[in-house]
Structure 1
Amino acid sequence: MFLSEGLYYLRFKSRNSLCPFYEILRSLSYIEESPTVISQSSSLYAHSGPHRHCRSTMSTSSSESDWQHLLINEFFEVKIPSRHPESTVTQAQCFQVARQILQVLDIKHVGIQGQYSFTLFSPIRSKIIQFRLDSLDDNLLALVHQVYEHESPKVERYQGPISFPLPIYISDLAKGVYLPAIEHPALVKPFPIETQLRTVIDLARFIARATHFPQPPGMCLPDSWTASAPLFLDQLIHTFATHAPDLSPIVERTRSDLHLLDMLPIVLTHTGLGIGNIFVDRDDGHITAVIDWDHAGLEVFGLSVWTLYECFLSYKQWDEIHFYTNIVSDGRPAHQVLEEAFWNEIWLSVSDRIDRKKHEEAVKAAVTLWILNRYFRGSETTFDINNEEHASELARARAIFEYMEKSKETASLNT
């Protein structure tokens, strides 16, 4: 939501190009690194995600600036007239209303816009103001604030005297440093194990905290990842039989284990908990904020754990997936130290609500389900190995599942 919305629509074109989003972050004093470091980190942090349909529509020959202009023009010239045919809304009107609401002249638009909103900010007031095509779920926003009061900037709908055709939302800027603005750990020598440990431990606590606010079992919507899992997996089994037979056993096992999910609580779940939505303390790696709750929902506990494997144990550089094999002070590879710390913390943090011996297999099923969702939701019936993005998603999923299997074997040998 707000500052990060649209990150998934950005394609980093080259190691030597500085994307517009980093320019806007620098204007907010979020970035101090040189352009070389930032562009290197960009290629490492860029990752595949669930918004394939958005990224695939962008021509690789267009500049990032052109792409942003296309998004903005489409929002005002196509989407608003389609959704609100009785209204005429312009960029100039949004700027004018933002100045009136925030009572400041210094209003700028963020460097990356979303597909369904137009977002502005005031550096002086440290406020984000967003004009959305549709309203957000007020109950969900209230739950986010209840569960993550200290980590998520409160988002409130404008209810003042100024009338406007679109719903308007206001939020504080997130505290800390936008995670991709920090030099990528793969570029740091020696590997920054202490700051990475702090981040993954905080991540575990963040995910676990939702279990302290369990929701009624029947609260999952029909289109939630949890409720729609049987149909999704059935379709994926059929697709993988042809295109990825090596992953078929994983899908079939997950399908047969779905009943285990009934053992887990229904919790508030951030479905896009990637690095693009996380802010940290530059010095110690402590997570200071998590943003972009637009597509959050109520799901079984454990789905958010996918981010550990995609964003904190591995990275994708161009078409290759790498895990952090850097040897740290205790003689083990960094990925092993980080994974162990994460799971130790998450089981400790949920111990009064979820018993590891009883629920570990259920949590593993939830994690596997979400990894499959992460890379194949939307292509479960249309998967084409000759499609570049489909092939890329398949490679990422394979790498993570292979890693998880080896990690399980290593853990067994050490017990």
Structure 2
Amino acid sequence: MDDYQRLVVAQFFEPLPNLSQNSCHQFVLHHIAPILFPNSTGKVDIQPSPFQGSMSYTAILHTHSTSADHCIAIQFRSDKQDLFGVNEASRIHGTIVPLVTYQGMYEGLFVYTSPFAEGTPYISVLMSSEDFQLPLQKKTATVMDLADLVTRGSRVNTTPFDTTISDLASILENIRHTVNNYIFRHATLRNSISACISRLLPGLRNLATLPVTLTHQDLAPFNYLIDDSTGRVQAVLDWDGAIYLPVGSNFYFMDSLFGFMTPSGWQDTEDRQELETAFYNRALASLAAQGFGGITKEQLESQKAIRMLLYGVERLLKFKDERAEHYLDGYLRGLSFMNGYMFSY
């Protein structure tokens, strides 16, 4: 693990004085390994995963024998996972979604096992690259694979047409009410949000016909692993809480492929337009191949905008800091239909 990963692990164990990496490793050795490999007589070793999450600690169990070697990830979590999402995702996407199995509890932590996923988190590849840049060909490969991922397994939305429109309108009006009562550090952001809502409301009927897909709720660049050399997606993790939502609902996560945050605000990459065009073209082609032709980029981007506003405002209320405003401003600037709006942020 690098220094940052060690810090993440230390912060996870800080409120757990009776637990440590070593105690978790001993639990794996004496209680998990015998369950998974009851007849194994080979060597067993346990190491911390090189990539850690803030809400869990992950160890890697290696077994070595004359017949076969195995590599299993064991995750100790402070919260219980909803395995519906991961089971559905594995059914839809196959082996790029490692199946997760609940193994019980250890000292108040929930313990899960899954096959070890090959690859490196996209954010780690990006951060280790020169000038925080990746070759366009590699980024395009990641973009195309994610476009397939977020559209695969689409099916007809069975929610009544009028109910869908009413729900969308309610979401937007609630967002408008919230931001009207929020004290912004940059007051012009309120105007930008209001302008976006005003652009979205007249077109809600066009969104009621969108198909639904199993929607990953945190498709951030640390949750998809890529091949360092090609950019191809090898695994997508953390499907906890995934639910069926209209296609486009989590497209705002793609903005992490098109730009990055700086101390002064969001900055698009020079190749944003090319990458975003490739993403939408691939997404539309995937939907058409599944029988959903006639869908437009405008529909997908509008659905993206609604869920992006919901996500961004929830983040704003949670953190109440300038960084959350920067992200929301960056998301808004990335919407093509907001290009005519004069930002003064």
Deviation at 1:130, TM superposition (A): 2.2
Cα distance change on mapping 1:228 and 1:105 into 2, 3 Å: farther
Find the aligned partners of 2:81 and 2:133 in 1 and give their Cα distance.
Answer: 44
In structure 2, which of residues 184, 196, 199 is the aligned counterpart of residue 250 of structure 1? 196
Query: 2:146 maps to which residue?
Result: 203
In structure 1, which of residues 96, 110, 120 is the aligned counterpart of residue 49 of structure 2? 110
Query: 2:91 maps to which residue?
Result: 146
Query: 1:348 maps to which residue?
Result: 285
Query: 1:300 maps to which residue?
Result: 246
Find the aligned partners of 2:129 and 2:46 in 1 and give their Cα distance.
Answer: 36
Counterpart residue type for residue 99 of structure 1: A
Deviation at 1:274, TM superposition (A): 1.6
Query: 1:97 maps to which residue?
Result: 31
Counterpart residue type for residue 233 of structure 1: I
Cα distance change on mapping 1:135 and 1:396 into 2, 3 Å: closer
In structure 1, which of residues 228, 236, 242 is the aligned counterpart of residue 178 of structure 2? 236
Find the aligned partners of 1:238 and 1:300 in 2 and give their Cα distance.
Answer: 27
Deviation at 1:112, TM superposition (A): 6.0
Counterpart residue type for residue 32 of structure 2: A
Query: 1:176 maps to which residue?
Result: 119
Query: 2:235 maps to which residue?
Result: 289
Q: TM-score, normalised by structure 1?
A: 0.64
Query: 2:326 maps to which residue?
Result: 395
Percent identical among aligned pairs is 19
Would you say the 8 A contact 1:113–1:119 is kept in 2? yes
Residues 1:217 and 2:159 are matched in the alignment: yes
Cα distance change on mapping 1:163 and 1:112 into 2, 3 Å: closer
Superposition pairs of residues 250-329 of structure 1, within 5 angstroms:
250-255=196-201, 257-309=203-255, 311-325=256-270
Counterpart residue type for residue 394 of structure 1: E
Aligned residues: 314
Counterpart residue type for residue 225 of structure 2: F
Q: Deviations over 1:235-282 (max 9, x none)?
A: 334246964333121134335545544222232101111210111122
Q: Unpaired runs of 5+ in structure 2?
A: 38-42, 64-69, 161-166, 341-345
Deviation at 1:126, TM superposition (A): 1.8
Find the aligned partners of 2:75 and 2:134 in 1 and give their Cα distance.
Answer: 38
Cα distance change on mapping 1:77 and 1:232 into 2, 3 Å: farther
Q: Which moved more, 1:131-140 or 1:261-270?
A: 131-140
Q: Which moved more, 1:292-301 or 1:185-194?
A: 185-194
Q: Unpaired runs of 5+ in structure 1?
A: 4-17, 22-63, 79-89, 219-224, 326-333, 410-415
Residues 1:362 and 2:299 are matched in the alignment: yes
Would you say the 8 A contact 1:198–1:286 is kept in 2? yes
Cα distance change on mapping 1:234 and 1:121 into 2, 3 Å: same
SS at match of 1:107: strand
Would you say the 8 A contact 1:99–1:106 is kept in 2? no
In structure 2, which of residues 71, 80, 85 is the aligned counterpart of residue 126 of structure 1? 71
The structure richer in strand per residue is: 2
Deviation at 1:110, TM superposition (A): 3.4
Find the aligned partners of 1:314 and 1:359 in 2 and give their Cα distance.
Answer: 23
Counterpart residue type for residue 339 of structure 1: E
Q: What is the root-mean-square deviation in Å for CA atoms of aligned residues?
A: 3.8
Query: 1:19 maps to which residue?
Result: 3
Q: Which moved more, 1:341-350 or 1:173-182?
A: 173-182
Find the aligned partners of 1:354 and 1:165 in 2 and give their Cα distance.
Answer: 46
Would you say the 8 A contact 2:71–2:116 is kept in 1? yes
Find the aligned partners of 1:19 and 1:271 in 2 and give their Cα distance.
Answer: 28
